[in-house]
Structure formats: structure tokens, C-alpha cells
Amino acid sequence: MKDQTRTPLFSGLLDHIRKHPTQFHIPGHKQGKAVEPSFRDFLGENAFKMDLINIEPLDDLHHPNGIIKEAQDLAAEAFGADYTFFSVQGTSGAIMTMVMSVCNPGDKILVPRNVHKSVTSAIIFSGAVPVFIHPELDPVLGISHGITPRAVRHALEAHPDAKAVLVINPTYFGIAADLESIVEIAHLHDIPVLVDEAHGVHIHFHNDLPLSAMQAGADIAATSVHKLGGSLTQSSVLNLKGERISHERVQTVLSMLTTTSTSYILLASLDTARKQLAISGKSRIDQAIKLANKARKAINELQFIYCTGEEVIGSEAAYHFDPTKLIISIKDLGITGYDAEVWLRNNFNIEVELSDLYNILCIITPGDSTETIEKLLIALGQLEETMRPLSSKKDVQVTIPEIPRLALAPRDAFYAETEVIPFNTAAGRISAESIMVYPPGIPIFIPGEIITNENIEYIWKNVEAGLPVQGLQDETLQTIRVIKEYRAFN
């Protein structure tokens, strides 16, 4: 057992700073001296003193063998991994690394349709061919959950040559699949399981939460420490276990995708967040669960607003859930989740994590307190009072369109000769672009897929509901880039 109270990277930086070296290296602001004063005053001088670069005493994320290696080794033990790699390119960078570490051009990879855009990017970069699995849809909440072991088994029977399975666990909404069974099925085919654990750094540290990727036996997991684990935005880890994926390969690919000017402030925040999670994570998460459950109970005393609880569990895709996520269903109030988000901003200065047609999502963490929960409860009470005249029992229409047919590998489509045509006339053409509703970034189609009228209508419906539809080069959605078609007589 290692001493998890140690922070070799953070402490190493402090030791270095205390020596007051005269710096003739970048960054040129030289401990903040050359920084614009209002910015320097706001952040404080320590931030600039720690804004260092990979000089020899401070190790190098690209070839770690000093304080970064020690910090990564401690993290590996804390996360139950054989190797942990720090990422300063968020979980997006870690996801691209894991996909590109296992997929060569032309390799098939099983992925849920509701993947983050970094998975689509990784598929384009690697030249892999996605085999999409429909996530299970929740008819009460109108959201998609994860994929089921059964769907993975069927997909592997149909595609026995697949090289990997990627799972999102837990989902943005905190719903976890039966990951252990998915891992078992994939390992029977001797292929690795890659986990997008962007929303699950904390689950490893509390027994009442779903199993983490490493606990479930997955081979590799990209985990956002910055989202729910207390490190700074952009800092994530990539955890690796077992023999199916080479750690040298992962290090090489991660390095290919990473800036050579890695931020030591981000790296130190990973080191200290790991210490906090390992030492006091359980009690801090306990407190967050209690606060969230208190909020859930009070919200469910309202007449038209409902907050999801344990009853969501019951299917293979909703096998477990994370109670620190408050999925607050607004649909019976007669407004959209997006309307509620804007109302809370304008009337209570509250910012939620995300909204969709039917829900808002609020995350509760050890950073919350009785006061923040009270404020949310008062605001939701007033929201209900204000909107009560509009209220009506509304049936959820789960409107995720069928997965379009893939006509070309996404990379081939991305690099193909293309033309721009009016968006509303694009049905039947092969898209060269991705388009998604964000958050949470579910692709409606990706490069290589055949556009259908259903896709186009789905997009306009989301636009009308005020949801951000992103991805097309033409942000007005008037035109789209498609694969050029040559006809015999023009």
C-alpha cells in the first residue's frame, strides 16, 4: 500500500518554487511579473509561480520518470488500475487515446449511439468503423440510458470481428449499466472494454454508488477528475488494467495527442484531487448523497415537478444509479427543461448542469451545502407556483431517430470530395459533417451516414424547443456539406 496522503507532484512543485530559481525559460510571464495586472491580481501570484514548464526537475508528462510518474503511480493505486495516465486535454483527449490505442484503420468498434463527440472524432482519426448500438430509452424521462449486455452480445454475434466495445458508464444523467456483465461478454470474445467514465470519477470511492470501470473489470477508462472529483477543468485520467492493451502503446498515443506545454497547475490539481478522493472521498461523497437525497425528497413533495430516484433502476441498462445527480422532470409543468433553465437563471441566478425537452439536471457534490440545496428548493417551488396555470400531464415522446445507415467509413467521408447543399434538401445524401444536440452531445448523424427526412425533422424540432444544435459548419443550419455525387449527364 502506498501512502495516499503524499502529493509528490504538488509537493515537488512547491519545493521548486521555494528555491526561487532565476528563470530563463518559458512561460515568458516569469512568475506573473509580465502578466497584465488586473488578471494577475484576480488570480493571485501563486497561480503564476506554479505555471511552470517541463524543465528537468519537474519531470515530463510525455516521458514520466520523476514526480509525475510517482503521482500517476499513486493515482493508479487509488483508482484500482495497473497504470494511470494524467490528461491535460480533458476526458476528450483520454477517449481519443483509448480508441486510437485499440483501433487500426478499418477495425470495427461497438459504440453506443449516444457517444460524446470525442468518440466520433477518435473514430475519424483512427479510421475505425463504428457499429452503433441503440441505448435503451426511458419512456418516463425521455432520456437515453446505457447499452445492455444483451445488445452487446447480439452485436458481437453479428460482428465477431469487432476489436473493442465502448461503454458510457455512468451516463451524463448518472445511470449505470450492468457493466460487469458487458465486460464478461466482451472478454469471452477476448476483446477489450473501453469505458467513457466522464461522469463517474467519484463512483470508485463509495460503495453505494455504481461499480467503477476498474471495479467492473474493464480494460481502460477515461475519467473526468475535473467534473466531479475536485481537480481543475481540463484535467482527467486514463486508467488501464490487464494485458489486452499495451501501456506503451497508450503512452505513445496519448503523447501524440497532447500539447508539449503541459500545464503544471492542472497536473498538480490531479495529484491533490487524487489524495482527497483516496483519503476522505467516502465521507465527502456520503455528505453529497445525503444532501441530494434530501433535495430529492423535498422536490417530490411538489405537485408537478418530479425528481428521479431508485425507481429508475429496473432494466439492464438502468442497472444502478448515482443519487448525486438530480434528474428533475419538468414536463408536467407545461414548459420545457430549457424554459426552466432560463427561468432559474433569470429569477434565481441558478445555473443548472443541462436541460433538454423534459428535464433539467443538477449535480450535487461535496461542494454543496444545506444553503445551496435550500436555494434550489425555494426556486423550484416558485417555478411551480409561477407555471402552475400552464401545467398539464404530458406524455413523453422519445424522439431519438433511427440510426442512419453508414455508407462510408467516417474517416473516408471526412476526407472525401464534398459539396454544400441546402440543408432541407439533403435527405438521401451522405453527410460529411456531424450534427448533435449539445449537451449532452448525442449525434443525429456523423460523417458517412445517409441523411434522412426523419433526421432533418428531428433537428428542427430541437431548434424550435430552443436546444442548441451544433456541429454543422453553417451554424444557421441553412446548408450542409455532403459527399459530392457525380451524375452521368452533368
Which residues sit at the interface with ligand PLP, rule CB under 6 A? 90-92, 95, 116, 118, 168, 172, 196, 198, 224, 236, 440
**Which uninterrupted H or E stretch holds 399?**
none
Cβ 151 vs Cβ 121: under 8 Å: no
Measure the CA–CA gap between 104 and 127, rounded to whole angstroms: 7
Query: Least separation, in Å, of the C-beta of 94 and ligand PLP?
Result: 8
* CA dist., res. 451 & res. 404, Å (int): 7
In the complex with ligand PLP, the residue whose CB is nearer, 237 or 299, is 237
CB of 277 to ligand PLP, least distance (A): 17
C-alpha 97/C-alpha 373 separation (Å) is 38
For ligand PLP, give the closer residue by CB, 75 or 380.
75
**From the CB of 220, what's the least distance to ligand PLP, in Å?**
14
Residues in CB range of 175: below 8 A, 6 or more apart: 145, 146, 312, 317, 318, 320, 321, 322
Q: Give me the helix-helix angle, 247-256 and 90-102, nearest 10°.
A: 130
226 versus 275: smaller Cβ distance to ligand PLP: 226
**Cβ distance to ligand PLP smaller for residue 70 or 322:** 322
- Measured from the CB of residue 131, what is the shortest distance to ligand PLP in angstroms? 19
We find the least distance from the C-beta atom of residue 224 to ligand PLP, in angstroms, to be 4
CA distance 104 to 98: 12
- Give residues with Cβ within 8 angstroms of 33, minimum separation 6: none
CB of 250 to ligand PLP, least distance (A): 17
| Cα–Cα separations (whole angstroms), residue 287 to 158, 206, 231, 319 | 45, 11, 19, 23
Q: Which is nearer to ligand PLP, 91 or 431 (CB)?
A: 91
Q: Would you say 62 and 255 are in contact if contact means Cβ atoms under 8 Å apart?
A: yes
Residue 241 is placed in which grid cell? 488494467
Measured from the CB of residue 135, what is the shortest distance to ligand PLP in angstroms?
12
Q: Which residue number, 126 or 452, has a Cβ lying nearer to ligand PLP?
A: 126
CB closer to ligand PLP out of 327 and 432: 327
Judged on CB neighbours under 10 Å (0-12, 13-18, 19+), 247 is middle
CB closer to ligand PLP out of 64 and 135: 135
CB of 77 to ligand PLP, least distance (A): 23
Q: Minimum distance between the CB of residue 184 and ligand PLP, rounded to whole angstroms?
A: 23
Strand partners, 306: 329
Give the H/E segment covering residue 384: helix 370-387
Tell me the closest approach of the beta carbon of residue 111 to ligand PLP, in angstroms: 12
Q: Which is nearer to ligand PLP, 198 or 327 (CB)?
A: 198
Nearest to 397 by CA among 318, 353, 458: 458
Nearer to ligand PLP, 112 or 448 (CB): 112
Residue 349, CB-side half-sphere exposure with 13 Å CA sphere: 1
Distance of CA 418 to the CA centre of its chain: 30
| Cis peptide, bond prior to residue 64, ω within 30 of zero | no
In angstroms, what is the minimal distance from the CB of 309 to ligand PLP? 22
CB 421, min distance to ligand PLP, A? 31
Which residues on adjacent β-strands are paired with residue 84?
239
Closest CA to 345 of 337, 240, 294, 215: 337
Nearest to ligand PLP by Cβ — which residue? 90
- CA atoms 10, 240, 172, 463: torsion sign: positive
* CA atoms within 13 Å, Cβ hemisphere of 187: 15
Minimum CB distance to ligand PLP smaller for 99 or for 250: 99
Cβ proximity to ligand PLP, 72 vs 452, nearer residue: 72
